[in-house]
Amino acid sequence: MDELQRLSVEAFREAPKIPVIVVLDQIRSGLNVGSIFRSADAFCVEEIICCGITPCPPHREVLKTALGATESVKWSAQESTAECLRALRNSGRRTVALEQAHGSTPVTSFRPQVPLAIVLGNEVSGVSDEALAECDEVVEIVQGGTKHSLNVAVSAGIILHHCMVVFRGV
């Protein structure tokens, strides 16, 4: 690990982050949540907010796939995704849902504005209608295969990588 020049947990907590909060809307799988924590760590996200039924650390499945990222990434839990997004918008954050919808912006054309909150939805039903109503924009990962969706953790990695590239110019 020394050769990779990875930050310690303490150094990561103090390091600059991209101005993104990830809001998890009713995600069922702790394994997906843990994977999202790892992506949030990899792409230096400010915080994760677990809403509704979304499992939170120290849930066994979250810890299994997070591989320690629950210690480095700031997180909190809230009951209502819509209320969470309303509060984030009132504090000046732009709210964006990652979802398939009419009029959505392709992720390749998405130019995130700071500060930003990105909403990721339930594995079956996606971002809830109540949460979508609190979003300023909907971004979609354009797909060309026979399936019409990606795993939520995979989708998180794609959008968070895109945001890091845009914000940091990497």
The percentage of the chain sitting over the pLDDT mark of 70, rounded to a whole number, equals: 98
**What is the average per-residue pLDDT within 15-38?**
98
Please give the angle made by the CA atoms of 38, 44 and 48, to the nearest 5 degrees.
Answer: 65
Q: Is the pLDDT confidence value at 83 over 90? A: yes
The two beta strands, 116-120 and 94-98, are parallel
pLDDT of residue 15: 95
- Looking at residue 116, the DSSP 8-state letter turns out to be E
Q: Model confidence over 94-139: pLDDT tens digits?
A: 999 999 999 999 999 999 999 999 999 999 999 999 999 999 999 9
* pLDDT for residue 26: 98
- Domain ranges for the chain, please list them: 8-168
Superfamily of domain 8-168: SPOUT methyltransferase, trefoil knot domain (3.40.1280.10)
Taking only Cα atoms into account, the Rg of the chain, rounded to an integer number of angstroms, comes to: 15
Please count the CA atoms within 13 angstroms of the CA of 8 that sit on its side-chain side: 2
C-alpha–C-alpha distance, residues 40 and 134, integer Å = 22
Average pLDDT over residues 30-38: 98
- Residue 92 Rama label (left phi>0; alpha psi -120 to 50; beta): left
Q: pTM for the whole thing?
A: 0.96
